Chain A
């Protein structure tokens, strides 16, 4: 158990809908990262927050947005969902002055 929690574990929704994925980092970790894992794209970095501020951005679609709250938990919002958004979404966190990231168990999103 990495100490990173993600909810929900599974999410099934329809095209065009909007969902919110939630992540709680390990205690004391200021950085939160979001990744998408799919069969065709592999593991792709989406976005990083550090202590509430956006720090780095990957190939995140405009339909996707994220934020990190004062208590350091983070949410990833996915809107106007398409079939191709079906994937595993991972959150990771890392402590200050450490380079390795600790991954949560993921949220499996299925868009029907």
Chain B
């Protein structure tokens, strides 16, 4: 069965510092991996995806993620956090032959303080 784990419910970072939001996954076969962000009272916004190719994926708003097959991880990173990055972040996985079904992690609340 496919699953996604986001081990941290909350991540606190000072503005200007680098941030990492962790994600590990379990899937049979090659994974399709995604990061989404949710602002209060809004829908999810797509940030980036990994399908194949370079393990470092760049996305929207300066975010990037590193795919690590041996550790089955797909951590979200940003070199310099902004207060406006404060939001709820979701990692998601899609396995092969699953149509478009996304399995989401429980989400990580990112708080960036000035």
Enumerate chain A interface residues (CB-CB to B < 8 A): 2, 4, 31, 33, 35, 42-45, 48, 50, 55-56, 58, 90, 92, 94, 99-106
A sample of 18 cross-chain residue pairs with beta-carbon separation below 8 angstroms, ordered by A number, consists of A2-B43, A2-B45, A35-B102, A43-B107, A48-B99, A48-B100, A50-B100, A55-B99, A56-B100, A90-B43, A99-B34, A99-B51, A100-B34, A101-B46, A103-B45, A104-B43, A105-B42, A106-B43
Please indicate the chain A residues that have their CB under 8 angstroms from the CB of B44 in the complex: 90, 92, 103
A interface: dominant SS: strand
Given A42-B106, A42-B107, A43-B90, A101 and B100 touching (CB < 8 A)?
Answer: yes
- What is the count of residue pairs linking A and B with beta-carbon distances less than 8 angstroms? 56
Please indicate the chain A residues that have their CB under 8 angstroms from the CB of B51 in the complex: 99
Q: Which residue of B lies closest to A88 (CB)?
A: B43
Report the interface size for chain B: residues with CB under 8 A from the other chain.
22
Task: With both chains docked as a complex, state the minimum distance between the C-beta of B47 and any C-beta of chain A, in angstroms.
Answer: 9
B46 touches A45 (CB 8 A): no
B104 touches A99 (CB 8 A): no
Q: Which residue of B lies closest to A45 (CB)?
A: B101
Please indicate the chain B residues that have their CB under 8 angstroms from the CB of A31 in the complex: 100
Q: Which residue of B lies closest to A102 (CB)?
A: B46
Given contacts A101-B46, A101-B100, A106-B43, 6 further A-B contacts (CB under 8 A): A48-B100, A58-B101, A92-B44, A99-B32, A99-B49, A105-B42
